[in-house]
Amino acid sequence: MNGTKSGVRSGGCDVRGVVGAGLALPKAGAASSAPTPLPHTLMPALVAALAILLGALTASLSEGVILDRVVAVVNDDVITLTEVQEEGLQTIRRIVQETLGEERERRLRSTERQILDELIVRKLQLQEAKKEKIETTSSEVRSAIEELKRRNGLTSDEELRAAMAGELLSEEQFRKGISEQVTLTKLVARQVRSKIAVLDEETRRYYDQHLERFREIPKFRIRHLLVAVSQEPTREDVMRAKSRIEEAQALIKLGAKFSTVAKEYSEDRLASSSGEIWTMKHGELSPEMERTALTLPIGQVSGIITTPAGFHLIQVEEREAGQILVFDLVKDEVRNVLFNQKAEAKFKEWIQGLKAKASVEMKM
């Protein structure tokens, strides 16, 4: 039984976070792959509008306009106030909409400082990539864009452009962000990830200390009967379905085999397989059915279970407690966990090193 059956959870496509602020530590994999997050930017008209709204940050409200200024110097590069506000558009806009007075000013200043810190870190990384002569080719950018589309369920360039428009990104800004991300991924692969090793004894020790993490998901072996209702049923539809499930329940109580009754009375599109034993993992059944499956005595038929799909009866044939997977089956997973933990720590240490040897002057 899979996630498409009635009364069973099925996942949907939630396209969120196609683009966002900040640069994440690249994950394990090919150095040329680019993580999804990209910088937020403002369209010129919105910069002007937001500047008026945020006048209290850099000028008096009576002036009604913000003059751009340098807010940080990172070695030989500068970061401007406009860059900070462009990077944090979504957050800044939300603060403006939700707060007033001193609270607004406090949160805006805190947000701008946080964004500035992130921009400084990015600038330091890009400068380091330039020193290392790390460049990104157009084919790498195209590959990264295709991977981003795949991850976010975007099937066409038109859908991608719509996503960019929703984030107020021009195609030029989007491609620039992708190119920078690919460059930084390659840089981190060279200067951080390539210097990490995970020993066999570390892998085994982690497994022995975290056995519960490697326990299989518990399973249910159940038989199932469903009398379905439509998404917007009438009162008559509900009464008919309830009468039918009660009739099926009565037959089973009189001694009829569950599988036989299920094949006769089930009405969903999988009726032909109703009554057969389905193996389900914890989390695949609807919450209403799973609560019953967890406590119902083996072999006993449930009471009538009501879900948005209709009325159900189930019979639990077996419950299997998840077994702990043997080390050989999970050692690669364990190695990846340890590698990423070390990479995270090494990345932070590397960033601190870049900051320590840099000349950074804050003007904000």
Domain with 164 in it: what CATH number?
A: 1.10.4030.10
Mean of the per-residue pLDDT values for the chain?
81
Cα–Cα distances (Å) from 248 to 50, 213, 268, in that order, read 64, 42, 15
Q: Does 98 lie in the same domain as 179?
A: yes
Q: Does 240 lie in the same domain as 288?
A: yes
Q: Is there a domain that residue 162 lies in?
A: yes
Q: Is there a domain that residue 329 lies in?
A: no
Q: Does 184 lie in the same domain as 220?
A: no
Q: Does 262 lie in the same domain as 168?
A: no
Q: Which long-range contacts (CB under 8 A, 24 or more apart) does 147-152 make?
A: 147/33, 147/34, 148/18, 148/34, 148/36, 148/178, 151/36, 152/15, 152/17, 152/18, 152/36
Q: Is there a domain that residue 6 lies in?
A: no
- Angstrom distance (rounded) from CA 196 to CA 342: 7
- Angstrom distance (rounded) from CA 14 to CA 11: 9
307-320 mean pLDDT: 91
Q: Is there a domain that residue 139 lies in?
A: yes
- Angstrom distance (rounded) from CA 7 to CA 2: 11
Q: Say whether pLDDT at 42 is over 50.
A: no
- The pLDDT value recorded for residue 284 is 87
Which one is predicted more confidently, 37 or 217? 217
Q: Does 169 lie in the same domain as 306?
A: no
Q: Is there a domain that residue 358 lies in?
A: yes
CB 119 within 8 A of CB 84: yes
Q: Does 247 lie in the same domain as 135?
A: no
Number of domains in the chain: 2
Q: Does 178 lie in the same domain as 254?
A: no
- If DSSP codes are grouped into helix, strand and coil, which group holds residue 11? coil
Q: Is there a domain that residue 220 lies in?
A: yes
Q: Does 266 lie in the same domain as 141?
A: no
- Angstrom distance (rounded) from CA 3 to CA 13: 14
Q: Find, among 216, 223, 194, the residue nearest to 314 by Cα.
A: 223
Q: What percent of the chain has pLDDT over 90?
A: 55
Phi/psi at 318 (nearest 5 deg)?
Answer: -165, 145
* Range in 76-85, 226-235, 275-284 the model is least confident about: 275-284
- The pLDDT value recorded for residue 25 is 31
152-176 mean pLDDT: 89
Q: Say whether pLDDT at 62 is over 70.
A: no
- The pLDDT value recorded for residue 320 is 83
Q: How many CB atoms lie within 10 A of CB 293?
A: 21
Q: Give the confidence band of 270 by pLDDT, cuts at 50, 70, 90.
A: low
- Give, as one character, the DSSP assignment of residue 276: S
Q: Find, among 66, 95, 92, the residue nearest to 81 by Cα.
A: 66
Q: Is there a domain that residue 224 lies in?
A: yes
The tokens of 268 are what?
A: 């969903």
pLDDT tens column, 17-35:
333 322 233 333 333 333 3
Q: Does 309 lie in the same domain as 220?
A: yes
Q: Which domain holds residue 144?
A: 44-198+340-362
Q: Does 239 lie in the same domain as 102?
A: no
Strand blocks (E) in the chain: 70-74, 77-80, 219-228, 278-281, 305-307, 310-320, 360-362
Q: Does 149 lie in the same domain as 65?
A: yes
What global pTM score does this model have? Answer: 0.61
CATH of the domain at 312: 3.10.50.40
Q: Is there a domain that residue 230 lies in?
A: yes
